[in-house]
Amino acid sequence: MIKVLPYSTVVRLFVEFSHSNHSIPRDIFLKSTPGSINDPYAKGIGKSEVEFYKKVAPEISCPPLVQCFEAVYDSETDHSHILMEDLSATHSQPDQGRAPFETESVMAVETLAKAHAVYWNDPRLGKEIGKLFDQNTLNKFIENVEQSVLVFLESSGIDLTATQRQAYQLMLRNADKIWGRLIDPTNLTVTHGDCHWWNFLYPKDLDSETVRIFDWHLWHIDLGARDLAFLLALGGFAEPRPEREDHLLKSYHSTLVSNGVSNYTYDQLYADYRWCAIRNLNIPAIFWSQGKHESTWQTAFSRATESFERLRCSELLLDR
């Protein structure tokens, strides 16, 4: 099977050995990324994912990850490839647009928490692992956010209500507080960066296997709640389910605690989640600038503004 995706090509391989070797799987998954990617938001993702599997993944077990056998990046061609275990026989995914059932959803956020817990408050963050914002990089980032959001609002043809317009005004006015939180390394970790329901693999047999998470090409240092805000508040490319939100957040938090994260209460998580939901307002602007289908960025806009209001995010920004 060969499948060409927007930024990579994936191939399922079956390997035959000249001699019996039960320690090496026969089903292998190959992901290759070309060097020529024009999308500025996706530039360097092949190099980034190889870096993840070489520097970050060795301390995260499998599960929650999928076992990686080889990760190679060629600096001359900017090409990369990753060779991984193929879990098609034991795992599956829901149909596009339909979020997993509640049991699988809980398992997914628990898997995410297990991955986040490994590097939570790790002193190597920003030094040996990933990069942290300093004031200069933060200022440049905020400038780019302001420019891209204003272009989106002025040029996309989106028709904002008064409430939606106020939400964007509040986000832009308080961008230094919203993203400035990332200068402080407290309670930061290695995050996935593209956390939607189809970057998880769900076990066919819940008693013998668990959920795995893959596609770490956009990993970076951030609040764990940022992954959750994309997955739950924005819906993770499925219809959001606010009635399950609290349960899933509590499942995530309890898994953090059981995996060694301390001095981080559920109230702190929920506050971080609300702050990260504000950042979802930037997602439709990114999607629009990437040339994604109108329905994709309009759906993201609708969900980002709805969750901004539902989570009372304006209360965090008014009078500041």
Quickly state the pLDDT bin for 104 (edges 50, 70, 90): very high
Quickly state the pLDDT bin for 320 (edges 50, 70, 90): low
Per-residue pLDDT, 243: 96
The answer to whether position 46 is within a domain reads no
Residue 36 confidence (pLDDT) above 80: no
Average pLDDT over residues 30-56: 84
The answer to whether position 102 is within a domain reads yes
The answer to whether position 187 is within a domain reads yes
Per-residue pLDDT, 9: 86
Per-residue pLDDT, 15: 79
Residue 192 confidence (pLDDT) above 60: yes
Number of separate domains in the chain: 1
Average pLDDT over residues 133-159: 97
The answer to whether position 290 is within a domain reads yes
The answer to whether position 87 is within a domain reads no
Quickly state the pLDDT bin for 1 (edges 50, 70, 90): low
Quickly state the pLDDT bin for 12 (edges 50, 70, 90): confident
Average pLDDT over residues 206-212: 94
Average pLDDT over residues 180-188: 96
Per-chain mean pLDDT for the chain: 93
Q: For position 213, which CATH number holds?
A: 3.90.1200.10
Residue 196 confidence (pLDDT) above 60: yes
Per-residue pLDDT, 24: 67
Q: Kindly report which listed range (36-45, 209-218, 252-261) carries the lowest average pLDDT score.
A: 36-45
Domain that holds residue 147: 94-317
Quickly state the pLDDT bin for 95 (edges 50, 70, 90): very high
Residue 156 confidence (pLDDT) above 60: yes
Residue 202 confidence (pLDDT) above 80: yes
Per-residue pLDDT, 155: 97
Average pLDDT over residues 307-316: 97
Per-residue pLDDT, 42: 65
Quickly state the pLDDT bin for 21 (edges 50, 70, 90): low
Average pLDDT over residues 182-194: 97
Quickly state the pLDDT bin for 44 (edges 50, 70, 90): confident
The answer to whether position 49 is within a domain reads no
The answer to whether position 281 is within a domain reads yes
The answer to whether position 223 is within a domain reads yes
Residue 319 confidence (pLDDT) above 80: no
Residue 154 confidence (pLDDT) above 90: yes
Percent of the chain with pLDDT over 70: 94
Distance CA 215, CA 53 (A): 10
